[in-house]
Amino acid sequence: MSLTLLAVQALNGLQLGLLLFLIAAGLTLVFGVMDFINLAHGAQYMTGAYLAVFFYGHTGHFGAALALALLAALALGLVLEALVWRRLYDRPHLDQVLATFGVILILTEGARALFGPSPLSLPRPEILSGAVPLMAGLNYPVWRLAIIAAGLAAALGLWLMVARTRLGMQVRAGADDAAMIGALGVDVARLFRAVFGLGAMLAGFAGVMAAPVLAVEPDMGDGVLILAFVVIVIGGVGSIRGAFIAALMVGLVDTLGRSLSTDVARLFLSPAAANDAGPAVASMLVYVLMAAVLFARPQGLFPARAG
Amino acid sequence: MRAAAVLLALAAAPPVLEGLDAGFWVVTLSRALIFAIAAMALQFVLGRGGLVCFGFAAFMGIGAYAVGVAYANGVEDALVAFPLAMLAAGGFAALTGLAALRTRGVHFIMITLAFGQMAYFAVTALSAYGGDDGMTLWTRSTLGGFGWIEGRWPLYYACLGAAAATWALLRALGASRFGRVIDGARQNPGRMAALGFDVRRAQLAAYALSGALGGLAGALLANHAEYVSPAYMSWHRSGELIVMVVLGGAASLGGAGFGALVVVALEEVLAGWTQHWRIAMGLIVLAVALFARDGLAGTLTGALARLRR
Amino acid sequence: MTAMKSLALAAGLCAATAAQAETLDIGMLLTLSGPPAALGQHIRNGFELALAEKGGKLGGFDVNLIVVDDELKPDVAVGKAKALVERDGADIVVGTVFSNVMMAVFKPVIEAGVVLVSPNAGPAPLAGKGCHPHYFNTAWQNDSNHEVLGQHAANQGYKRIILMAPNYQAGKDAMAGVKRYFNGEVVDEIFTQLGQLDFSAELARIAAAKPDAVYAFMPGGMGVNLVRQYDQAGVGLPFLSAFTVDETTLPATKDAALGLYGGTQWTRDLDNPINAAFVKGYEAAYGAAPSLYASQGYDTALILDAALTAAGGAEADALSAALKAVAIPTTRGDFRFGANNFPVQDYYLAQAVKQGDAYVMRKVATIFEDHADAYAAACKM
């Protein structure tokens, strides 16, 4: 494999990783601060995509669709928090799993009922819809570079918020010990609402950014949810920095693994067996990575909680 | 006492349903009983042991494929295929448990998910056994050459027998010293270890047994559907199993079994009403999660107790 | 004498009225949810359109159509197929969309003594060794549409091509079909993950290998993503495909799919009166362009109508004999079954074009005429 091809694969892995980061960031905050397992987070990503398609259909303008979709995703996240999530903070994880599983069913089937089961599309904004030549014969889409830029900007923004603002300080403290900061006078309920709203918005934003590239369909949140959980487990629950590093790792391992696995398998096995083994191993790689990290550092790479 | 009543009711179901011209429900009930076996096995490690396994579907799938692979190689006898299924699934559970039980909490959930996914992808790659298309079993498992579960009712009673045996076994284990060690390990592993119990070994034994019973459920599922496919092992199925246990009531064995029956029956009924039955299912699941803290079984027994007073 | 006569008359009248009022229960098992739901929906639409045009009757029987969603889950489908034949008493089963579901429901339906007609899935085992007198396929054998592209690549003189398909049985069958007729070098066989949505890695590999053409089999939402990303990446090579670029995915891919090729047994511009009426009727009824799947649903109804008329009922052996003998005009021209109950028909190369506001597939060339599938010889019926 040539060096330029490797560079392109790396960019692709980076793009996938940053998309995963946007989703995992909200998930890890919610889990870290509120000890809340939110299986419906993938559905919030899906909702963002559908909202963008809906608003684009009414405005015809990508920027407006993006802004409206983000606001609507935020609103939906806050409504869910008030109606459902709030009752589950003190409950055991299993109850949270059950409730969020129910919400997934409702949101997914609701999207299917409202928009139909077929994949929908969202056109990219005009100025970002071209491609730049990265190597001879391959043009890299500008939109994918935009995803990378947006992901990096969001990461920077989150870091600034967590490290430099009061809210961020509360989030960090809350991830460490939420009961304690409540005792210290912080409005924990408002903090939780803020964290949930932020998580919902980030997931929705990821959905909007991904929509022009991937098909918008009711089950699109499923695969992404599992990968997001893998990311936060590798990175360490509650840690934004961990989610960032882990997301990049997962994105790169998955992308590079998929493109190399069959070639590597052919070195050891017959072509027919390699065609079977290669993709199977590629699919497993991310989980093997996670298992390896858990073996070496069971708390993840950058655990937010002490110990 | 209550258990005997339930068993009697379930045993009487086929002739009653036939009389009500709803004989096809026997097929659905068989499927419900199969998932009840799996749910009860899962409850033993999840509710009792506190180990939330998110890869349980893999045990069912391995059990199903043991029957399928044996069939493809000419072995149809249940006396070979069923123990093989339990051994394969239990062995997989023991091996993966060695690694998984070193972790706790959400990490345990994710590691078991990872192993489940690995099993799924491995089986999907086995093009010799149909890969993703799966394999049809042209006859069900035989017993000494005799087609003992070929009909609708024989299969139902076999499933009922297996479910009753599973329930009895897990109940006895749960009441035994072993069960108390598992309880203690869930509540305070440190103290148990300090008291001299080998917590890791007890949990591994429970996990392996649970896997083996999942394999039994899988073997029955393969016979019920007369078909095996990697879809049996998908993480969605693992999630559905957890929902069955928690919906019914993770605290009790009977609750988990009840949850399985409710979920399978609900799916059948709701799907007959509307194409978008998942919304109704989601609302029911959500309502139970929010308002029925002890699961459906817990809430029902609580209500019954209050009525008696 | 008179008592006997009146009794016989009464019996005859009873029989006559019974025959007139007879209803046929047809079970329709399709994938109607999930990303590939559009395929099932199109097949259903086509079938129901034909049924409506015939006043709700096929072969003179009132049809009670029981539509069931198999959710693309084989073990769920098995239960639903059993329900159709055992609980609902279906006289005929029409299904399925996907091959894995097909393999799963074959046994329960056939063993119940019910004729099974597939309007889409045509897996190799059921065309070859596993063929059965009561099993028919009105669409194609799975490999055939892929063979079209292999032949086309050979016709075009391509020396080096890359194949890409998801890593499941149908994907492997697809590659086998292409290779059967392509005589050049297959530079690479890229297997992707089922349900995979991001093809940046694979596209980079293709661009680096610089083949003469790319062949892809990527059904459903995967195909929508692939086509869009292929367009964005600016690879610029001839894109040959089957079941990837058609009227079920064109509404989503739109301009990105223009110029891409597909292999098919039907296009909207096939010149015969039944097809012209079908296209017009479909667009009027459903407000969208029909796909090959819709035509398959429509043709299945026409074929069943002819066979039921000839057989006078849905009894399995009689209906099967009648189906075997069917030779009628359909949307794709004259239709007949081969010896293994799979169609023997023409196959075309089609290309995605824009007609007014709609995106459709237009026939470019005839690649095979009276083409039987590769497994017919293995069927010992």
The answer to whether the CB atoms of A258 and C193 lie below 8 A apart is yes
Same domain, C178 and C227: yes
Reply yes or no on whether the pLDDT at B216 is more than 90: yes
CA–CA separation, A31 vs A29, rounded Å?
A: 5
How much is the ipTM here? 0.85
CA B165 from centroid of its chain's CA atoms: 13
Query: Tens of pLDDT along C208-247?
Result: 889 999 999 998 878 988 998 898 888 889 999 999 999 9
Q: Which residue has the higher pLDDT, B34 or A5?
A: B34
Q: Residue C110, Cβ neighbours under 10 Å: how many?
A: 19
Please indicate if any CB of chain B lies within 8 Å of the CB of A135.
no
Of A94, A105, A277, the CB nearest to B279: A105
Please indicate if any CB of chain C lies within 8 Å of the CB of B127.
yes
Please indicate if any CB of chain B lies within 8 Å of the CB of C99.
yes
The answer to whether the CB atoms of A294 and B111 lie below 8 A apart is yes
Same domain, C135 and C153: no
Least confident piece of the model among A126-135, B298-307, C66-75: A126-135
The answer to whether the CB atoms of B275 and C73 lie below 8 A apart is no
Reply yes or no on whether the pLDDT at A179 is more than 80: no
3-state secondary structure at position C317: helix
Q: Going by DSSP bridges, is the β-strand pair C92-95/C23-30 parallel, antiparallel, or unpaired?
A: parallel
Query: Tens of pLDDT along B98-153?
Result: 888 888 777 888 889 889 988 998 898 887 787 777 888 888 888 877 788 888 88
Least confident piece of the model among B189-193, B249-253, C100-104: B189-193
DSSP of B159-194 = HHHHHHHHHHHHHHHHHSHHHHHHHHHHH-HHHHHH
Q: In this predicted structure, what is the pLDDT of residue A277? A: 79
Contact A274, A265 (CB under 8 A): yes
- Number of domains present in the structure of chain C: 2
Q: In this predicted structure, what is the pLDDT of residue A293? A: 87
Query: Tens of pLDDT along C47-94?
Result: 999 999 999 999 999 999 999 999 888 878 888 898 899 889 999 999
Q: Which residues contact C140 (CB under 8 A, 6 or more apart)?
A: C122, C265, C342, C343, C345, C347, C373
Of A93, A98, A284, the CB nearest to B121: A284
Helix segments in chain C, DSSP class H = 2-20, 37-53, 74-82, 99-111, 124-127, 144-155, 169-181, 200-209, 220-233, 250-253, 273-286, 292-311, 316-324
Residue ranges making up the domain that contains C306: 19-140+271-343
Predicted confidence band of residue C18 (pLDDT cuts 50, 70, 90) = very low
The answer to whether the CB atoms of B138 and C169 lie below 8 A apart is no
Over residues A1-21, the mean pLDDT reads 83
Of B114, B236, B282, the CB nearest to A102: B282
The answer to whether the CB atoms of A118 and C252 lie below 8 A apart is yes
Predicted confidence band of residue B164 (pLDDT cuts 50, 70, 90) = very high
Q: Give the phi and the psi of residue A60 in degrees, each rounded to 5.
A: 70, 10
Reply yes or no on whether the pLDDT at B240 is more than 80: yes
Report yes or no on C126 lying in a domain: yes
| List of chain B residues whose C-beta atoms are within 8 Å of the C-beta of residue A290 | 110-111, 114
Tokens encoding B253: 């064995």
Share of chain C above pLDDT 70, in %: 94
Report yes or no on C79 lying in a domain: yes
Report yes or no on C1 lying in a domain: no
Identity at C120, one-letter amino acid code? N
Choose from B45, B107, B245, B284 for mutation: most chain A CBs within 10 A.
B107
Q: What is the mean pLDDT of chain B?
A: 88
Q: In this predicted structure, what is the pLDDT of residue A270? A: 77
| Neighbors of chain B with 3 or more C-beta pairs under 8 Å | A, C
Reply yes or no on whether the pLDDT at A307 is more than 50: no
Q: In this predicted structure, what is the pLDDT of residue C16? A: 47
Same domain, C224 and C88: no
Reply yes or no on whether the pLDDT at C14 is more than 50: no
| List of chain B residues whose C-beta atoms are within 8 Å of the C-beta of residue C82 | 24, 27
Please indicate if any CB of chain A lies within 8 Å of the CB of B299.
no
Query: Tens of pLDDT along B6-45?
Result: 888 888 888 888 888 887 889 889 999 999 999 999 999 8
Same domain, C47 and C178: no
B102 min Cα distance to partner chain A (Å): 8
Pick the CATH number of A3-296 from 1.50.40, 1.10.530, 1.10.3470, 2.40.50: 1.10.3470
CATH code, C310: 3.40.50.2300
Q: Which residue has the higher pLDDT, A274 or C11?
A: A274
The answer to whether the CB atoms of A105 and B285 lie below 8 A apart is yes
Residue C164's closest chain A neighbor by CA? A275
Tokens encoding A57: 């259909």
N- to C-terminal Cα distance for chain C? 51
Q: In this predicted structure, what is the pLDDT of residue C346? A: 95
CA–CA separation, C163 vs C181, rounded Å?
A: 13
CA–CA separation, C232 vs C150, rounded Å?
A: 26
Identity at C93, one-letter amino acid code? V
Least confident piece of the model among A147-151, A263-267, C77-81: A263-267
- Name the one residue in this structure whose structure tokens are 């899988």: B218
Please tell me the pTM assigned to this model: 0.82
Q: Residue B210, Cβ neighbours under 10 Å: how many?
A: 29
Please indicate if any CB of chain B lies within 8 Å of the CB of C79.
yes
Same domain, C148 and C135: no
We find that the CATH architecture of domain B2-308 is: Orthogonal Bundle (1.10)
Residue C169's closest chain A neighbor by CA? A276
Cα–Cα separations (whole angstroms), residue C180 to A294, C155, C367: 47, 14, 14
Residue B280's closest chain A neighbor by CA? A106
CA–CA separation, C257 vs C354, rounded Å?
A: 10
Reply yes or no on whether the pLDDT at B283 is more than 50: yes
Q: What residue segments make up the domains of chain B, in order of their start?
A: 2-308
Residue C200's closest chain A neighbor by CA? A12
Q: In this predicted structure, what is the pLDDT of residue C19? A: 47
Helix segments in chain B, DSSP class H = 2-19, 25-43, 56-72, 78-100, 105-124, 152-175, 177-187, 189-194, 199-225, 235-248, 253-273, 277-291, 295-308
Same domain, C238 and C292: no
Contact A10, A179 (CB under 8 A): no
Over residues C30-42, the mean pLDDT reads 87
